[in-house]
Amino acid sequence: MRRHCLNALGKPIRLPVLAVAILLIVATACTAAELEQELRNSEARFHARLDAIESELQAVQDERNVVPVTRVIDGDTVEVTYRGHREKVRYLDVWAPERDEEGGVEATAYNASLVEGQTVRLEITDKANGRDSFGRLLADVYLLDGRHVNALVVENTAATADRH
């Protein structure tokens, strides 16, 4: 007596059909494992490329001196992340009153309204290796829309143009 495997409808499944079905299941299992491995490889390649792009972007930003402002110190000084380090930047040719001097609070508030939390472009001076006597970078600072922060602070606060 011959035995048959039955399908979901209770009808016999012929041996060649059963063999093909088993082969497809096995082949699919192998393919799934291969696809999973390929997915892992693709993910690794993706992350390697993403790291390379981020490095290239950082190099371009460093080259162009495009940096995030991390803190406004007063009317003419900010802190930025520059080449991986926090640096104080003094606006070139600007003197703003200190916070405890007349107009100092207003100058600091105006400066904050311009640059706090923003990304800016620095044009660092060649004078004195680009630093003042306190070690701060001396720079012309520009918003990414092209506005010159140094000039805006002088135009709109008690700050004056000054040679460092």
- Give exposure, 102-123, as e/b (b: 16+ Cβ within 10 Å): ebbbbbbebbbebbeeeebbbe
Active-site residue 90, yes or no? yes
49 is catalytic: no
Question: Based on the number of CB atoms within 10 Å of its own CB, is 40 exposed (0-12), middle (13-18) or buried (19 or more)?
Answer: exposed
Could you say which of 79, 98, 106, 123 is catalytic?
98
Question: Has 136 been annotated as catalytic?
Answer: yes
Of 63, 87, 106, 136, the active-site residue reads 136
Which entry of 45, 49, 87, 90 is annotated as an active-site residue? 90
Q: Compute CA 27 distance to the chain's CA centroid, rounded to the nearest angstrom.
A: 44
Residues with catalytic function? 90, 98, 136
